[in-house]
Amino acid sequence: MNSLSSRLLISVSVLLLLFFGATIAVLDRAFTEAGEQARRDILDGQLVGLLAAAEPDDSGELVMPDRLREPRFERIGSGLYAELRDLQGEVLWRSRSALGLEVPGGTVPELGNHLFGRESFEDGTPLLTLSLAVEWELDDGASKSYVFKVAESLDGFNAQIAGFRRQLFGWFAAVAFTMLLAFSMLLRGLLKPLRQIETEITEIEEGDRASLSSKFPTELTGVARNMNLLIDSERARSDRYRYTLDNLAHSLKTPLAAMRALLNDRQEEGFGDRFDEQIERMDEIVRYQLRKPAASVADNLVLAPVPVEKEVARLIDGLRKVYHDKHPEFEVRIEKGMQFRGDTGDFLEVAGNLLDNACKWCERKVRISAVPSVGARAVASGMVLTVADDGPGIPQDAADALLQRGMRLDESTPGHGIGLAVVKEIARSYGGRLSIKRSELGGAEITVSIPPVATAKSDQAP
């Protein structure tokens, strides 16, 4: 029952069973009622024939002719029977077909009324009967009451009903089987795109494909697009993890070289303090570089809306404590209700790196603004995040170098240059770009533009 096709087939089978079962019941009831009505009409016609054939004799008693027009009344055991009784129930005449049989008297109807009934012989043979009580006026003006009764065996009718039911079940079973077979073939074609997605995901896992193709029905286009976004995001995370380890090795080269040089002078005074200082520096570098990839691995993969104003407020509150000696003044310009559609850790890393750099190099003022990108939609909105400061700024000829992985302007400051490179990589993973220019405050102004998810592939920065 883990198969979607099996579930759909079983569901359709149950619906067909219920629908066809109700249809069979309705048709069976309609056929039975129509058959019974036809039998009643036939009995009514036979009764009229008996009334027409009856004649009084010379003694004033009502008698029936020796032979009737209906041949079944003359054939023994034909299944059609007739009799004439008086109101006291005494049999005055009985058809030859009822020879050796006792037709049940049943209920006597009121004068002038027809009475249909279901009765049976002593051996259990079911009968459909019709009785009519009449008052017969004789030639001398006197009148007598009689009861005419005709009965027909229901064995043949029940056999017809049973045959009709067998045919009905047979035809509906064949129709249901044909419909299920056709539905199964149709379902196989309709679910082909899902099997294609499964195949392409397997190819991605084996490294034979980079992303899902775009040739899917409209209902699956969003699934494929979001899956590609997730794959690209995870691929970018993996790259960031690898790049961080590369940067870790690169960052450790300087303290390692210093330690190697100290070992040559280990007999000098103060060697232990200087050696411990380098070890502490290495420890800080390791903790700084490994913090980001570890957090990325732990994050949830679902891209949930991130409340920008709330997260920025948390970042600013933390930075006020870190740079309490500077007392930076923050100017926040964030559109109310602004949300970033992406990973929370990615947003915190982008905004945190930019704000940290701005606080580190500012004189006094730091400005941050966030607005939706042009053409953004609420279901997957983009973002334009800008951070500016009043510090010395970044030389134009050094801006491009700072965005290159491993390029730093100040080797003594851990992470300087790496943060901007990481911000650029995160922006690119969302199809965005990073730009650097001189701000109105006099320092650097860094802008990260992330387009809506729907246009992220086409707008991806080179």
The whole-number pLDDT of residue 31 equals 92
C-alpha pair distances (Å), 306 with each of 225, 331, 337, 345: 20, 21, 10, 10
Q: Determine the topology of domain 4-160 in CATH.
A: Beta-Lactamase (3.30.450)
Rg of the chain over Cα atoms, rounded to whole angstroms, equals 49
Does residue 393 contact residue 411 with C-beta atoms inside 8 Å? no
Q: Where are the chain's structural domains?
A: 4-160, 221-298, 300-462
More confident residue, 33 or 287: 33
> Interior CA angle at 279 toward 275 and 283, to 5°?
170
**Tens-digit pLDDT profile for residues 28-69:** 999 999 999 999 999 999 999 998 888 888 777 888 888 888
**Tens-digit pLDDT profile for residues 376-402:** 444 446 889 999 999 988 887 777 777
**Tens-digit pLDDT profile for residues 234-266:** 887 777 777 777 656 645 654 565 566 567 666
Average pLDDT score over residue span 428-441? 89
Quote the mean pLDDT of the chain: 80
Does residue 73 contact residue 99 with C-beta atoms inside 8 Å? no
Q: Determine the topology of domain 300-462 in CATH.
A: Heat Shock Protein 90 (3.30.565)
**pTM (predicted TM-score):** 0.47
Residue 162 CB contacts under 8 Å (≥ 6 apart), including other chains: none
